[in-house]
Structure 1
Amino acid sequence: MLLTRPDNLKAEQHELLAKLTAACPEMIQLAAVIRDFAPLLAPHADNPDALSHWIVQVRGANLPHLHAFARGLERDRDAVNTALTLPYSNGPTAGVNTKTKRIARQMHGRAGFTLLRHHILLG
């Protein structure tokens, strides 16, 4: 529920989320950090600076798993900045790759490339 857009949650989900979040200080911090990160996912020229601020905020929080996530973002900072600023997506390509792999798994290696190609073209 923390990762869902707030306007997509039903009233009872909002209430449950409020109760769960209030249950411990770590949940309050986690909810705040996630809320602050979400706007970065919409491409904008100011996002690299906002990401730097977000990483500083995460380092100050007592959330070790998010520390690891922030380190991963910093390791490949150029790619992350590009993803946060440009409107391009590799989603369609990833979807085709996923579909191809699913079909290949369903076939369990039977009948070789010709049948796989046929299934992909018909699917």
Structure 2
Amino acid sequence: LMENASRAFLDAVRKSMRQIRRTIGATVVNPALLTAAEKLQYEGYLRREETNAAVLALWQDGVPIKQIVRRTGHHRMTVRRIVRGERGDVFRPRQSSLEAHLPWLDAQWDAGARNASALWRALRMSGFQGSVRVVLEWATRRRRAERTDASSLARVPSARTIARLMTIGRDNLTKAETVAIAAIESGVPTLVEAREIVADFHAMIRTKRAELLSSWIERASSSLIASLANGVRRDEAAVHAAIISTWSNGQTEGQITRLKLVKRQMYGRGKIDLLQARLIGAQL
């Protein structure tokens, strides 16, 4: 029964794959899920935000920049950047001489001009004073970004992988897996509901609380695992007996697994006489 419930959840994931593909890219990273290095950057951002708020409060009260520098102890250029609104980003980008030319470069790149040296020569004609290396680095970053975007779209986890990641503990997931599952849970709430219904079914079997079966069927009938609920309803008496019964086919399934393991270990030599000698004869 528990295996059938797990298969039903896998089928629910497969039904939701189109919706999952639409939502898995639109992800907002939770600061609690950042790596150690990213946490340091985020903590620095929070400290900058506190500094920005203090400087802006003084500026809005009419305090001149020179007085703000004396009161806060920050550099004059830092105070000026805060007043101009230049320190509001989480990850501060490195200032580049290409800033003024980026719209033109983006337009040329989208039009198919991918030769960095040619782009640099055209920029020189318009007054750009930087070296060709600056444009080469910009072009390299653009190519890497495009390859990364293409590979991320092609690496959407399979339905089986998503079902596994959604049913194991969060402590066993990597940061990327955690972010992906968080995006799926926020974008496909019906899948989260199906997971909870399957988990309740497993708990009902483990605790042998057969009196919850009827209410569980009604709840599951309107979810993504309605097919499982319909099957349980057709054999409700048998499922009820399986939940409360002390008998189990676990011993049979265990012996079948052992038999398959021994047969595969013999690389095609597992005829009936050899299997009998290894399994039955070994127990005598």
CA contact (8 A) 2:221 2:230 kept: no
CA distance in 2, matches of 1:117, 1:91: 22
Alpha-carbon spacing, 1:84–1:38, altered in 2? closer, same or farther (3 Å): same
Tell me if structure 2 keeps the 8 A contact 1:43–1:87: no
Shift of 1:85: 1.6
Q: Does 1:3 align with 2:162?
A: no
Number of the residue aligned with 1:54: 216
Contact 1:58 1:70 in 2 (8 A): yes
Letter in 2 for 1:42: R
Number of residues of Structure 1 aligned to a counterpart in Structure 2? 114
Normalising by structure 1, report the TM-score.
Answer: 0.68
Identical aligned residues as a percent: 24
Answer yes or no: is 1:34 the counterpart of 2:198. Answer: yes
> Which string of whole-angstrom CA distances, capped at 9 and with x for unpartnered residues, describes residues 44-63 of structure 1?
2xx333111111011123x1
Higher radius of gyration, 1 or 2: 2
3-state SS of 1:72 partner: helix
Aligned residue type for 1:83:
A
Distance 1:82 1:102, change over 3 A: same
Please provide the CA RMSD for this pair: 3.0
The answer to whether structure 1 residue 88 and structure 2 residue 247 are counterparts is: yes
In structure 2, how many angstroms separate the alpha carbons of the residues matched to 1:117 and 1:12?
A: 43
Q: 2:42: which partner in 1?
A: none
* Cα pair 1:40 1:50 within 8 Å, conserved: yes
Runs of 5+ consecutive residues of structure 2 not aligned to the other structure: 1-164
Shift in alpha-carbon separation, 1:96–1:111, aligned structure 2, 3 A: closer
Question: Runs in 1 of length 4+ with deviation above 3 angstroms?
Answer: 1-4, 11-19, 101-108
Distance, in Å, in 2 between the alignment partners of 1:35 and 1:56 is 15
Are the structure 2 counterparts of residues 53 and 33 from structure 1 closer, same or farther at C-alpha, using a change threshold of 3 Å? same
CA distance in structure 1 between the aligned counterparts of 2:279 and 2:172, rounded to whole angstroms = 43
- Aligned-partner SS, 2:185: helix
Q: Distance in 1 between matches of 2:202 and 2:257?
A: 25
Q: Distance in 2 between matches of 1:111 and 1:12?
A: 39
Matched residue SS, 1:49: helix
**Cα 1:81–1:112, aligned 2, differ >3 Å: closer, same or farther?**
same
Which structure is richer in relative contact order (CA contacts within 8 A, separation 6 or more)? 2
Q: 2:278 aligned to 105, 119, 123, which one?
A: 119
Q: What one-letter code is carried by the residue in structure 2 that aligns with 1:34?
A: V
Distance 1:116 1:19 in 2: 50
